[in-house]
Structure 1
């Protein structure tokens, strides 16, 4: 049996034009094909697993949207919800709730961050702590 060692991905320079172009293309594809995929996915899940399937499908979408929010709002959330020594928002593979949970553990949430944690806690007890993803590699700035 072979053992493979994984090294963290190497950051490479990306042409800013390419980043903007890919962003615009992704928005166009989301707007044009997203509704079709949503309707088809809901119908597929309804007929294959009934309400359980729809709930699972919606949860998958919610997690993906949450990950998008973690990237999209990283600068604002880093400023408003955590102290300067806190674990940073912005990792595309992590949810906002996971970051809140990590900062809750290290007591690096600001009053706004603690308020958001209390709101999440009201909706689902210990939501942010239960959402922590321990296998996420921190992002390098």
Structure 2
């Protein structure tokens, strides 16, 4: 039953994302009149997608992003950012995991450190880790763009 629900839910998220975006912006203009309302709504949406990705793809994330003995992805209501931050502090990220942390930290300064959830005290004791070297970040971004390009080509080939 879970597989069927997943197969139904995923296309619905994609199909409804554009009307939801337009509706949120229209609602902000009509009722709230502030950009902060739109920004907050999309931050909450991004967080929900982040939690979904952590739970749904936890097994793959564990295989690709952490070394043996690392903190596992896929925990209940935790975000990918939080699990990545915990592994960053523990020094348990693989090359790809470091690239993910670097990319998230590039978008939002110290993102993986700021958004560690749960028992924060033990990670505070270990202290914020050193900055992720740019080579990891660039390699991750280039690899991600290439994989996305290949997925689009595959989709195009299957469709047409």
Equivalent of residue 106 in structure 1, options 82, 87, 90: 90
- How far is 1:117 from its partner? 1.4
1:19 aligns with 2:2: yes
Unmatched 5+ stretches in structure 2 = 121-160
The reply to whether residue 46 of structure 1 matches residue 29 of structure 2 is yes
The structural deviation recorded for 1:113 is 1.0
Distance change in 2, residues 1:111/1:29 (3 Å): closer
Which one of 59, 65, 89 corresponds to residue 81 of structure 1?
65
Q: TM-score, normalised by structure 2?
A: 0.63
1:29 is displaced (CA, Å) by 4.4
C-alpha distance 37-103 of structure 1, shift in aligned 2 (>3 A): same
Give the superposition deviation at 1:119.
1.9
TM-score, reference length from structure 1: 0.71
Which shifted more, 94-103 or 69-78? Answer: 69-78
Q: 1:50 to 1:129 in 2, by over 3 A?
A: same
Going from structure 1 to structure 2, the CA distance change for 1:49 and 1:95 (only over 3 Å counts) comes to: farther
Runs of 5+ in structure 1 lacking a partner? 1-17, 137-141
Q: Does 1:64 align with 2:71?
A: no
Number of paired residues? 119
* 1:133 paired to 2:111: no
1:105-140 Cα shifts (integer Å, max 9, x gaps): 11111122112212222222211010111169xxxx
- CA drift at 1:95: 1.1
Distance in 2 between residues matched to 1:22 and 1:49, nearest whole Å: 36
Q: Specify the alignment match of 2:105 in structure 1.
A: 121
Higher helix share: 2
User: What is the distance in 2 between the residues matched to 1:31 and 1:110?
Assistant: 30
